[in-house]
Each structure stands twice: as C-alpha cells, then as structure tokens.
A and B are shown apart, each in its own frame.
Chain A
Amino acid sequence: MIDRYRWYELVGLYAGIALFMVFVLAPFVEGFMVSLKPLSQLFSTPYNFIPQNGSFTAYFTMWTTVEGLGRYIFNSLFISAIVTLAVIAIVVPAAYAFARFQFTGSGLLLGGFLAVNMFSGAVLLIPLYRLMRAMGLLNSYWAMIVPGIAFLIPSSIWLLRTYMARIPRELDEAAWVDGASRLYTLRRVILPLAMPGVVVVAIMTFIGAYAQQFIFALTFNSRQEFMPLPVGLFAFFGRQEVLWNELMAASFVGILPVMIVIVFLQRYLVAGLTAGAVKQ
C-alpha cells in the first residue's frame, strides 16, 4: 500500500462496507429472525426486527407441517451429488484434452462449449421436455439429473482447463519418456496434481446443481417423491396461509449442506476462483 488512509477515509470505507453488507445479508438475517419468531408475532404490528421470546420451535414443527421436507432435502442432495460425479467424470478428460492438445478445430470447439452457456435451460425447455418424454425420463430423478449435467459442463471445462494448463508440460513428457501411456499419464501424473482444481470445480458444480433445481424440476417432474427442496418449498410457499417462520426454518436447513461444504473447502474455493477469474 502506498499511502495510508486518513481517519475520515477509513470511516467512509467502513460505512460503505456496512451499507454493502446490509444489502447482501439483509434477507438472510431477516429470514433467520423470522424463523425464530412465533407465528402470532409475525402477524402483528408494529413490525419488530428482533424476535421477542424467540425460539427454535419452528425448526422442530416444520418437519410435520411441510409434508415431505426430509424427502425434499434428501432428493436435492442426491440429485446434486449424481450431477457432480457425472460432470467431473466428463469434464476431467475434456479439460485435459483442451489444456494439452492443439488440433484442427480445437479452438472452435472450445468456443462452442462456451457458447452453450448462452442458452439457458429455460430457452430450451420445450424440446428438452419432448426429449425427456421420448426417453421416458419424466417424473423421475433423471428428469432433473440429465439436463442438469449439460448446463454445468461448459463452465467446468473452462475452469479446469486453465488450471491444468498451468501444470508444466515437462511432467507429461517425462512420464512418456519413462514409457507411460497417455491415459496412465493423465490418471497417475496429472490428475493428482490437478486435484485442487478438480475440488473447486466439484464444489462449483455441486452448488450450481443445487441452485438450478428449480425450472427443470418444476417442468419435468410432478411427483412429490422426487421433488427437490426448492420446488417442494415453492409448492408450500404458494399456499394461501403461509407459515412463514417454518418456511424460513426449512430454507435455512436447506442451505446448511451448501454452507458446510463452503466452510470446509473455502480455502480451495477462493484460490481457485481468483485464479480462474484473472487468467482467461
């Protein structure tokens, strides 16, 4: 740092950050407060931000009010896990191919993958619906897993490719000189070194899969037994009398798995993200 902040600059900075944090975090803080309030207090005026005689009651009662809540949470995690495993299996070889081999049309192909990001699932919903119906995948886990994978492949390839490109080529070449096959080199030399990158991509994919479970699930699945949390809660949300405190409690429990993943792997994530963002 070249020049130090004067006191009024520091005050300004902290005030700005406070304002920014209020914007970013207000819905979560308010949501949490609501989850602690008894229902009678929610529907009384004047409005109180801090719960009076707040309790975690809603976190216990919600399991019976929101019918199938446990199932929804399990479904969400299950779908995200399968999508993540599939994306990693597809993306690791592809990213390696792009990071190491230049062939006719490789640049075009890479651009093509990037272009896939332009077409959100929402635009392709009609043909995807027909496709799912033709394959008999409607109203099953596959209705959310199969399209979910496709829209997470391109960005994962881009992220992992930049990561793999930074691993020195000499390592591949040394392995070949020692007589290792190309596939063996990928598996035993490059993959272990690329592991931090793979972890970042896996986290991003898991988060992405968890987040995208709305439109596909809304359209391709109507069976409660396969419903992921967002759609399950949406059905609850749409009712006339919403038990907001329980809805918020359920939302926080739904966020928990993602938060746990982030807290444990946060160091990898920040490093991987900044690397991926700067070097494109």
Chain B
Amino acid sequence: MTSTRGATYFALALLAPALIYILAIVAYPLFDTIVLSFTNAAMRPAYDFVGWANYERIFGAGNFTEVIIRTFVWTFFSVSMKMVIGMFGAVLLNAAIPGQALFRILTMPPWIVPMAIGIFMWGWMYNGQFGMISGLLQNFGILSGPFPFLAYGNTAFWATIVTDVWIGVPMVTIYFLAAMQSIPKDLYEAAWTDGAGRFYRFRRITLPMMVPAILTMSLLSLISTFNSFDIIWILTQGGPSGSTTTMIIDTYKTAIGSYRYGEGAARAVVICIFVSLFCVVYFRAVRKLAQGEAK
C-alpha cells in the first residue's frame, strides 16, 4: 500500500480519538502521580513540593519494605500456581476425548463472571462458622471445630492467593491450549514413529515449543497479580493485622483511606517502577529467545 503523506494523515486521524483518550486518562494521570509523589498533597486543595520526603518516609519505616516482600511472595506463589494449574488444564482439555468441547466451556466461568461476584462466593466458602471448606473438613473429621480462614494472618494470606489463582486459571488454560494447538502435528508424529512415549513427547516437544507462550502469560499474569486489588479488598481489606496488605492495598489505604495523596503517589510510583522492570526483563528474554531461534 502506498505510504503517501495523505495516507499517514488519514491513519493519524483514525487514531486520534484513541490516542487523545489514553493521553488524558492514562498518560496524564501517570505524570500527575510522579509529580504528586514529590508533594504533601492531601484533602485540602493547596500543597507544596517536599522533595524526596515521601520516599524517605516510606522507606524509612520498616513497614513498607515488609509490604514489598509480602507482595512479591504473594505474587510469586499466585503466578506459579496459575502456570502449573493452567498447564495441567490445557493438557487435559487438549486430549481428544468425548466431552472435550463441553469441558472447555465449563472452564470459563471464573474468568467471565464479574470478579467481585466470584469473590463473594469464595467469601462464603471461607466463612468460619458455616462455610463449605470448614464444614467439609469438619464432616470428614479433619477439623474438630469451625475454622475461620480469613481471621488468621497465615490462612488469610493463602486463602487470598487461592482465590486469585482461581480467577486467573481459565485465561491461562485457554491461552496455553491455543498455543498447544498451534504446535505442528508432524513433530509429534515423527517422535511417535521413533517410539517416544506420551510424557517424553510432552517434555521434549510441547514444553519447549511453549516457552514463548509461557513467558508471555507469566508476564501478563505477573502484572495483573501484582496489581490485584478486588480479591484482597473484598475478602480481608488487607487484614488481619496487615497479613494480606500488598503494595496496591497499602497504596489504596494511604491515599484513598487516609487522604495522604502525596505519600500514596510515592507508593504508586514504586509499583510502576517494579512493573516497568518486569517488562524490561520480559522483553530481554523474548529477544534472547528470538536470537536463539535464528542461530
């Protein structure tokens, strides 16, 4: 297609609404966050620049480092469980067996249903007095009395992770399934004629061929998990005693809960820096992979 100047103007005109919208509602707020992080902005309209004071304050208190570590641990377990269970699901749904189409559709609900509603249902299942999990464990004699999963720091931490995994698994599964189906069939046939077993073929063909898909999905899932808000807020609001307070929850509590916009913005900037770092690492990995293939 001719790339005349007229064509370029036409393309830019088509892009203008999207571009302007994103600049106004995403780029400008991002810029505003950085500016705010150097101010003592709060409820009142006027505020002053305070230099690095916000950053000094949040890193000075030991609490914030703890929150960062907790966020990473939370994210690590959630993302790795999503990848493992998603791969497990994709392998199962890829098998040519009766009922395949139905099982694929039944995988989707946690992804499609409004997130908050799925979380309410988990809230009930975790309910200490009468919830399903506590109830079943009692019926089977594993627990002797009711156990409120969200009332203790340790179990609340894992309970929020399980719910996050539950919401993320369908998307990972469907994505892995699509990637699995795009692997050339003749690779499997050749391996099969050579007498390679099912597990061997999975390990030596499927898994290596899916490295790009696994990388992409882990990054996407890493970012969404890192920024996960609804699950924790609905189930525990960061409690009990801070055991589920991740960076995003901490930022929300500081800025929206206590109206300390400047300090909240500094926290948000730290989150953005981490997320950008993930992306840089990811693009490096992808480039390395592409070079490896070229050789």
Q: A47-B130, A182-B10, A210-B114 are in contact. Are A90 and B17 (CB under 8 A)?
A: yes
Q: A31-B121, A131-B28, A277-B174 are in contact. Are A17 and B103 (CB under 8 A)?
A: yes
A8 to B127, CA, bound (A): 38
Query: Is the CB–CB distance between B272 and A119 below 8 Å?
Result: yes
Query: Which of chain A's residues have a CB closer than 8 A to the CB of B19?
Result: 94, 109
Residue A117, interface by CB 8 Å? yes
Query: Which of chain A's residues have a CB closer than 8 A to the CB of B279?
Result: 115, 118
Query: Is the CB–CB distance between B166 and A23 below 8 Å?
Result: yes
Q: How many residues of A contact B (CB 8 A)?
A: 106
Query: Which of chain B's residues have a CB closer than 8 A to the CB of A47?
Result: 130, 132, 134-136, 138-139
Ordered by A's residue number, 27 sampled pairs between the chains whose C-beta atoms are within 8 Å are A5-B95, A16-B88, A20-B85, A24-B169, A27-B118, A27-B166, A43-B129, A47-B134, A97-B11, A101-B7, A101-B8, A103-B3, A109-B15, A122-B252, A123-B251, A124-B26, A125-B255, A126-B36, A126-B268, A127-B29, A172-B1, A211-B113, A214-B115, A215-B230, A215-B233, A251-B120, A277-B174
Known pairs A120-B229, A251-B121; list 11 more (Cβ under 8 Å). A5-B97, A21-B107, A94-B15, A101-B8, A126-B256, A211-B115, A219-B256, A229-B117, A254-B114, A262-B108, A270-B104
Query: Is the CB–CB distance between B120 and A127 below 8 Å?
Result: no
Name B33's closest neighbour in chain A (CB-CB). A127
Which one, B53-61, B70-78, B151-159, B175-183, is touching chain A?
B175-183
Q: A101-B7, A126-B268, A130-B32 are in contact. Are A27 and B122 (CB under 8 A)?
A: yes
Query: Is the CB–CB distance between A150 and B25 below 8 Å?
Result: yes
Query: Is the CB–CB distance between A23 and B85 below 8 Å?
Result: yes
Query: Which of chain A's residues have a CB closer than 8 A to the CB of B142?
Result: none
Residue B65, interface by CB 8 Å? no
Residue B289, interface by CB 8 Å? no
Residue B281, interface by CB 8 Å? no
Q: A118-B276, A124-B33 are in contact. Are A147 and B25 (CB under 8 A)?
A: yes
Q: A23-B85, A47-B139, A278-B179 are in contact. Are A28 and B252 (CB under 8 A)?
A: no
Residue B125, interface by CB 8 Å? yes
Q: Which of B176-194 contact A (CB under 8 A)?
A: 178-179, 181-182, 188-189, 192
Name A102's closest neighbour in chain B (CB-CB). B3
Q: A126-B265, A247-B120 are in contact. Are A13 and B92 (CB under 8 A)?
A: yes
Query: Is the CB–CB distance between B33 and A233 below 8 Å?
Result: no
State which of A20, A214, A258 has its C-beta within 8 Å of the C-beta of B112.
Answer: A258
State which of B15, B106, B122, B268 has its C-beta within 8 Å of the C-beta of A21.
Answer: B106
Query: Is the CB–CB distance between A93 and B17 below 8 Å?
Result: yes
A residues lining the B interface (CB < 8 Å): 1-3, 5, 9-10, 13-14, 16-17, 20-21, 23-28, 30-31, 34, 42-47, 49, 76, 89-91, 93-94, 96-98, 100-104, 106, 109, 112-113, 115-120, 122-131, 146-147, 149-151, 153-154, 157, 169, 172-173, 182, 186, 207, 210-215, 218-219, 229-231, 233-234, 237, 244, 247-248, 251, 254-255, 258-259, 262, 266, 270, 273-274, 277-278, 280
Query: Which of chain A's residues have a CB closer than 8 A to the CB of B198?
Result: 3, 9
Query: Is the CB–CB distance between A103 and B11 below 8 Å?
Result: yes
Query: Which of chain B's residues have a CB closer than 8 A to the CB of A233?
Result: 116-117, 120
Query: Is the CB–CB distance between A42 and B130 below 8 Å?
Result: yes
Query: Is the CB–CB distance between B8 and A126 below 8 Å?
Result: no
Query: Is the CB–CB distance between A237 and B88 below 8 Å?
Result: no
- Is the interface on chain B under 10, 10 to 19, 20 to 34, or 35 or more residues? 35 or more
User: Which of B33, B166, B251 gathers most chain A CB within 10 Å?
Assistant: B33
Q: A24-B107, A47-B130 are in contact. Are A94 and B18 (CB under 8 A)?
A: yes
Closest Cβ of chain A to B152, distance in Å, is 20
Residue B238, interface by CB 8 Å? no
A21 to B121, CA, bound (A): 16
Query: Is the CB–CB distance between B256 and A149 below 8 Å?
Result: no
Q: A21-B106, A118-B275 are in contact. Are A127 and B36 (CB under 8 A)?
A: yes
Query: Is the CB–CB distance between A124 and B14 below 8 Å?
Result: no
Query: Is the CB–CB distance between B251 and A255 below 8 Å?
Result: no
Closest Cβ of chain B to A243, distance in Å, is 11
Query: Is the CB–CB distance between B268 and A117 below 8 Å?
Result: no
A262 to B107, CA, bound (A): 13
Residue B224, interface by CB 8 Å? yes
Query: Is the CB–CB distance between B174 and A273 below 8 Å?
Result: yes
Query: Which of chain B's residues have a CB closer than 8 A to the CB of A20?
Result: 85, 88-89, 92, 107
Q: Which 9 A-B pairs have the closest CB atoms?
A: A47-B135, A230-B116, A127-B29, A101-B11, A127-B32, A150-B25, A93-B14, A27-B121, A120-B227
Q: Mark B180-220, 1 if CB is under 8 A from A, else 0.
A: 01100000110010000010000000000000000010001
Query: Which of chain A's residues have a CB closer than 8 A to the CB of B7?
Result: 101, 103, 182
